[in-house]
Amino acid sequence: MSLTLNLPQPDGHLARYTLSAREAWGAPAEPAFNRIAYSAAHVVADPLAPIDPWLQCAIDWDCTIACRQRLWRMGLGVAEAMDTAQRGMGLDWPTSLELIARSLDAARDVPGARVASGCGTDQLAPDAAHGVDDVIRAYEEQMAAIEKLGGRLILMASRALARVARGPDDYLQVYGRLLRQAREPVILHWLGDMFDPALAGYWGSADVDRAMDTALAVIEANPAQVDGIKISLLDKGREIAMRRRLPPGVRMYTGDDFNYAELIAGDGVGSAPTQRQSDALLGIFDAIAPAASAALAALATHDRSRFHAILAPTVPLSRHIFKAPTRFYKTGVVFMAWINGHQDHFAMVGGQQSTRSLPHLAELLRLADEAGLIEQPELAARRMRHLLGLHGVDA
């Protein structure tokens, strides 16, 4: 099959492009890392379910769990039921809990498999919250359900809390209450409003530096109960500044899908090892898993040049996937899974496959090819040709 396609350009014209057929990156057979690395994993929709996709959620459970097993084989942990799994964008709390249960069950068969599960307040509509007590009860309900399954918690940012909180003291109250009762140390999650506009002003201030002070105050008051904090602000300077202020042993999990390579590599500055580099909890690791695994294995052997050589070409791809409106990045993640043969269709929960344009996806294909992330070039060409045809393009 020809690897040459007519791909649409940003100006609407078509241009010939030939996939390189270069050998894709492969994960090591027995990966060993010196960073903790979680991939926020996507869910695979069931396109044959007789539902209304904008209103209801149907998951292909076998394929969804197979995606997690692939990540575990590559040495990556799974951050379950997060925004990459369309939490709050089609994936509701009952389905999220079933996803967490199935993922935890599957992980028991994989030695060393890591799972941390998103705990939020999404069963509580933001406009139904009348105060922080309502938010606390919603969090506690999800905490109890996840811990009953044996899961570790990622305390996700709450739209309801962002709506009702009157200032930093309300965040200190809510998080203090939750951390004191958590069974194991948790990962906090600071998701910027570029990912979710409903989270604007989180931690009680629109000023990011003041918000950071509040988040650090929460951690400093409960250091033994905090494994780390994931921040997704797409601002490497602020991430570096915050990790240098974290108590020793509390990890910075980068959620910066623009600058992850240099943040994971670290700068060697800080009184504790955990202040000198970032660990990872990234949605992009779902899309670039083989390269991420190979790069992290190289870093563990102190081969920084190979680490950067592998990851550098993935950064333009990631910046494209996460370009504004950033919240639509999930479409690019699922597109990558489809063209690489990890699922049989390009359909998403909530019909979200429509959130990105055909030229956007064409550019993503080109960037994936340049980054060594096309695992089966003939399959990718065939599937892209089919997608182009559905849009009226003679490929």
What digits encode the pLDDT tens for the residues 62-112?
999 999 999 999 999 999 999 999 999 999 999 999 999 999 999 999 999
For residue 6, the surrounding DSSP H or E stretch is strand 4-8
**What is the DSSP code (8-state) at residue 25?**
P
pTM more than 0.85: yes
pLDDT tens for 213-249 read: 999 999 999 999 999 999 999 999 999 999 999 999 9
Q: Looking at beta carbons, which pairs linking 261-266 to residues 24 or more positions away fall under 8 Å?
A: 261/295, 261/307, 261/308, 261/311, 261/312, 261/314, 261/315, 262/236, 263/236, 263/239, 264/35, 264/37, 264/296, 264/299, 265/299, 265/304, 265/307, 265/308
| Below-50 pLDDT ranges, the chain | none
Tell me how far apart the alpha carbons of residues 300 and 363 are, in angstroms, rounded to a whole number. Answer: 32
User: What pLDDT is stored for residue 190 in this prediction?
Assistant: 97
For residue 32, report the phi and psi dihedrals to the nearest 5 degrees.
Answer: -135, 130
The secondary structure element, H or E, covering residue 103 is helix 93-107
CA dist., res. 67 & res. 69, Å (int): 6
Domains identified in the chain and CATH numbers: 4-390 (3.20.20.70)
Cα 71 from chain centre: 13
For the purposes of burial, counting CB atoms within 10 Å of the CB of 189, is it exposed (0-12), middle (13-18) or buried (19 or more)? buried
